[in-house]
Chain A
Amino acid sequence: MNRSLIALTIALAASPALATPADTLVYQISSATASVEPAQAVVTYDVLPVMQMYEGLYLNNFGKYEPLLATRFTQSRDGKVTTFTLRKNVKFHDGSAMSCADAEYSMRRTLLVGNETSLAAQIRANLLNLSGFTPEVKKTYTFAKLSSLVKCNAAGQLVLTLERNVPSLLDSITQTYIVPMKALVAGGDWSGTARDFEAFIGKDVSNSSLAQKPDGTGAYQFVARDPSRFVLKGFEGYWGKAPALKNVILQKVDSDTARVLALQKGDADIAVIPDRDTLAKLKGVSGVKVYEDLPTHDLTSVVLYNQSVKDDKLLPAGQLAENNMPLNFFGDVHVRRAFAALFDTKTYLRDALKGYGLARHTTLPTNNWAEVKTLNPPAYDLKTAEAELKQAFGGKVWTTGFTVPISIFAGSGVSEVAAGIFKQNIEALNPKFHATISSLELSAANASLLGGKLAFNPLTWGGADPDTNLRGLYSSGGILAPATNINDPKMETMLNQARDAVGQAARKPLYKELLTYLNQQTYAFPLPQPSIFAATVSSLKGYENFNRTNLFKVLSK
């Protein structure tokens, strides 16, 4: 219904586009910006304005780390001590000059504040291996300890001393935004001393003074906001090149139809497009430019198996029956390989991704530096699937049969297509093979995933460093461990070796070895990576670059 109305919209909206002013960007988004506290923001439309107003020491430019508020860094041989040389003549939006004390305070604050779902919590987990501020952790996590981790040296450089080599350090550095210490302290934030240290441990700072009155070093500064708009203007004191677009209005518009209309009429320069069908209809419309095949950034789509499902309705480990499956069904490598070979990637690419997806080599993101392009994931091949299933569980699976439960996320066309492909091919292989599909609401599905109740399911995972990605997906200590129940000491050793080696050159061959092993074990297999699509007014330049950096300063008209 909605799609046909959008088609009608596009057909009817014949009036010529009246463009927004040449120095202004109107970006219509589908959900409002909530908190712009840089230590908290993790949601797309909170992060987007944060990235324009604040800067880290480095920028992640599509997997390549570029200096931002630091000009360079050096690392000790063991990777534990990192020294950042800070850029000079950088000003905050309040006019004050950035100093090493600000960088030190910002880093320490990030390692201190922020609730369990905050960006700061993710950074702490990455840098300090802190899974949360439990009472036990709080006992040892002191101001003295934090001060020893982050400090300025006599040369005005920021020195980070960690307990171990953290390969994804720069990834966290790019997300640690530098804030003005004096302004924050004056606004009632953490004093930067031991005095109020405990009061700020893990504190939810979504409503901080910084969230109310943002103050960073970014190319754009905060002007005003109302419930549906967030307004920015170019910062005149910016250390870098002044942005071409002087004003930015992020405008929340819930209705897909209204956003599409606004783009066509020139009321918006960029509008979030709901789906590829709508995008296809916008193709060729006067004044509108469509982007069909933009690359994704640090994301990987995979099908992940659970080797020990926690579901009372399933059979005990090792038992088989045509109308059920055992808890450890995917604990057998032959079953895993068979299911990977049962997945028709071409159909998935055509039906779920409308033909726009990147072929994969491993389960790493396609833009990751450790990706091994000579490797190939299991290919769709029913004969291979048959051969593997004839070996599974000592050959009993083929004669006994099974029924595998497939859960899909309600409203997710992609997961529906994936489930359909599995069901069709499983049931075509052997009349004793069955699949049941059930639909779960997203939060229920995620709760089931975390509770280890899902047998296998497609998901999208992220992370800039290969260790972040692979550890999260496969390690028994990773975030998805309850959903996968993988227990592979050999893989863990390989993961740790690759993590602990210092420098990309030393790590790359270790990851090649690890990824080769993972391909053999097939704990998961990669899905074609969906391309990003977008639509803008045709006068807007630099969108491809914006897709890589998320910075408005690269856009112009």
Chain B
Amino acid sequence: MLNFIIRRLLALPLIMLAVTFLIVLVMQLIPPEQRAVAFTTNLQQLGRVQEIIKTNHLGGSVFEQYWLWLGQALGGNLGFSRTSGQPVLATLLARFPATLELSLFTLVPLVWVGVWLGAQAAVHRNRAPDAVIRVIAVLGYSIPSFVLGIWLLVIFYGALDWLPGTGNISNDSAILLMTGSVRRVTGLVTIDALLGGRLDVFWDGLKHLILPAFTLLVVGIPALIKGTRASMIEALHSDYIRTVRAKGIAEKVVIRKHARRNALLPVATLISLSVSGLLQGAVLAETLYGYPGVGAWAAQAAAAGDLPGVLGFALLAATIVAVVNLLTDLAYTVIDPRVRYA
């Protein structure tokens, strides 16, 4: 097992190298002049394009450019992001807690509700609850997330005034955090507010999480419902379940103790995919709700041709996905003791 973990951790740098190299390679498809123009902000700067190409080595080969970035990155310098106006590492550190908080507040209900609904749909297959749950899944698949986000904003912020419209915290609470009146420990607003004993700030942060988390939930839940349903149906029709039922064990126990556990293996894979999906969804949800996470920044960086910013985000995303995959593989051994890694 330890060997397996070490091997997987050793593969992580290779994944990072491959991901970042691919990004530089794809950027290289755009002519240097066009990439240089992306550095400019007005027509007066167009006369500087050749200088920009030279200073930023945009005219060099993909290997030259990658080597330059890699040399910096290995020294702990991920470069400077034009879009954030700060070093990439500082930007990631400032913004990642917001994305993590949003992801955590989304993932827990996503897994809980998604798995429960999927299991219920399987247990009540072809009956009313199944039909309702499948409609929910189809709706989740069908509604474009940006449309849903705007609807939620208009209804719950605009019309009803129940929830805040933008950001991860109100201006008043933000100033308390920015000026140190509420100490930043984890960077997660809700946790820091609780640690600082500020229930008002905690409640404020929580209210700001509801709309973006709900949007991500609606986007992410159909896959989990359908996956769990299919996996559960397969488990419920397996021979061992038939045997258990023949022994006269109560149906609730059959489902909880025998069917659900066996159905969880593919569901664990789906959950790990949901984490990657949350990162992608964060780009949209953060942009829509002005949530100051890495997703919104990555979208800006990509649009502005901010290569260090894009590469920084890619490193973070690759690390998260690789770590989550590793944890998922380890979770398999817990769910199914027959799974062993050498």
Contacts and interface: CB of A to CB of B under 8 A. Distances in A.
A438 B51 CA distance: 29
A5 B157 CA distance: 14
Contact of B87 (A207, A255, A447, A449): A207
Contact of A255 (B46, B55, B166, B305): B166
A226 B174 contact: yes
A258 B41 contact: no
13 contacts: A9-B154, A12-B158, A116-B45, A206-B82, A223-B179, A224-B179, A226-B292, A228-B167, A229-B171, A261-B158, A267-B165, A450-B33, A480-B46
B34 interface: yes
B234 to A, nearest CB: 40
B48 A262 contact: no
Most B CB atoms within 10 A — which of A43, A225, A255?
A255
Contacts of B40: 117, 446
A499 interface: no
A115 B55 contact: yes
Interface stretch (A26-34, A349-357, A377-385): A26-34
A459 B43 contact: yes
Contacts of A229: 171, 174, 178
Given A132-B48, A251-B167, A446 B41 contact: no
A223 B178 contact: yes
B42 to A, nearest CB: 7
B311 interface: no
Nearest to B35: A443
Contact of A207 (B48, B86, B289): B86
B144 to A, nearest CB: 9
Contacts of A231: 175, 178
Contact of B37 (A32, A46, A252, A443): A443
Given A42-B41, A226-B292, A261-B165, A116 B55 contact: yes
A374 to B, nearest CB: 29
A479 interface: yes
Interface of A: 1-2, 5, 8-9, 12-15, 26, 31-36, 42-43, 46, 115-117, 121-122, 131-132, 204, 206-207, 211, 223-229, 231, 249, 251-255, 257-258, 261-262, 264-265, 267, 443-444, 446-447, 449-451, 459-463, 472, 479-480
A361 B17 CA distance: 58
Interface string B89-131: 0010011001000000000000000000000000000000000
A253 B289 CA distance: 8
B171 A251 contact: yes
Contacts of B175: 223-224, 231
Interface in B145-203: 147, 150-151, 153-155, 157-159, 161, 165-167, 171, 174-175, 177-179
B153 to A, nearest CB: 6
Given A12-B155, A132-B48, A267-B165, A227 B43 contact: no
Contacts of B155: 12
Nearest to A224: B178
B248 interface: no
A179 to B, nearest CB: 17
Given A261-B153, A450-B37, A228 B179 contact: no
Contact of B52 (A116, A131, A258): A116
Interface in B5-19: none
Contacts of B42: 42, 462
A449 B179 contact: no
B39 to A, nearest CB: 6
Contacts of B95: 227
Contacts of B178: 223-226, 229, 231
Contacts of A206: 80, 82, 85
Given A5-B150, A117-B52, A446-B46, A254 B85 contact: no
A440 to B, nearest CB: 10
B231 interface: no
Given A36-B85, A117-B52, 20 more contacts: A32-B84, A34-B85, A34-B86, A42-B41, A46-B85, A117-B40, A117-B41, A122-B44, A131-B47, A227-B91, A227-B292, A255-B153, A255-B288, A258-B289, A446-B40, A451-B33, A462-B42, A463-B44, A479-B46, A479-B47
A443 B41 CA distance: 10
A258 B153 contact: yes
A371 to B, nearest CB: 20
Nearest to A134: B51
A31 B281 CA distance: 20
Contact of A257 (B37, B87, B154): B154
B41 A226 contact: no
B71 interface: no
Contact of B288 (A207, A249, A254, A443): A254
**Shortest Cβ-Cβ A-B pairs, 5 listed:** A34-B85, A224-B178, A35-B85, A227-B292, A479-B47
B319 to A, nearest CB: 20
Given A34-B82, A46-B85, A257-B153, A117 B167 contact: no
A460 B158 contact: no
Contacts of A223: 175, 178-179
Nearest to B184: A226
A472 B47 CA distance: 10
B290 interface: yes
Contacts of A15: 159, 161
Contacts of B84: 32, 34, 227
Contact of B154 (A12, A36, A117, A211): A12
Contacts of A35: 85-86
A267 B46 CA distance: 39
Contacts of B43: 446, 449, 459-462, 479-480
Given A132-B48, A255-B166, A226 B157 contact: no
A479 B48 CA distance: 9
Interface in B44-96: 44-49, 51-52, 55, 80, 82-87, 91, 94-95
A322 B306 CA distance: 43
B184 to A, nearest CB: 10
B287 A254 contact: yes
B211 to A, nearest CB: 10
B337 interface: no
A14 B167 contact: no
Contacts of A254: 287-288, 290, 296
A46 to B, nearest CB: 7
A255 B290 CA distance: 7
A257 B150 contact: yes
A280 B33 CA distance: 39
B313 interface: no
B154 A8 contact: yes
A9 B158 contact: yes
Contacts of A8: 154
Contacts of B46: 446, 449-450, 479-480
Contacts of A257: 150, 153-154
B166 A262 contact: yes
B132 interface: no
Most A CB atoms within 10 A — which of B85, B151, B288, B292?
B85
B38 interface: yes
A439 to B, nearest CB: 15
A532 B332 CA distance: 61
Given A446-B43, A480-B43, A258 B165 contact: yes
Contacts of A446: 37, 40, 43, 46
A132 B33 contact: no
Most B CB atoms within 10 A — which of A211, A450, A463?
A450
Most B CB atoms within 10 A — which of A46, A257, A264?
A257
B158 A226 contact: no
A407 to B, nearest CB: 14
A253 B296 CA distance: 11
B292 A447 contact: no
A252 B168 CA distance: 12
A301 to B, nearest CB: 12
A460 B34 CA distance: 19
